Structure 1
Amino acid sequence: MIDIDYVTFDCARPYELAAFWRDATGFEISPETGADDDEVLLLGKVNLLFIRVPEGKAVKNRVHLDVSGSEGSTRDQEVERLLALGATVQADRRAPDGSGWVTMLDPEGNEFCVCRSEAERE
Structure 2
Amino acid sequence: MLNLKIKKTMVKIVDFKTYQAEDGKDFCTLIVQGGLEAVKSQEKNRTYLTARTARVSCTFNEAVCKSLIGSDFPGTIQKVEVDPYEYTIKGSGEIITLSHRYEFLGEEESIVKENVFKEEEVF
Scaled to the shorter chain, the TM-score interval is under 0.3
Query: Could you say which structure has the higher strand fraction?
Result: 2
| TM-score of the aligned structures, taking structure 1 as reference length | 0.24
TM-score by length of 2: 0.24
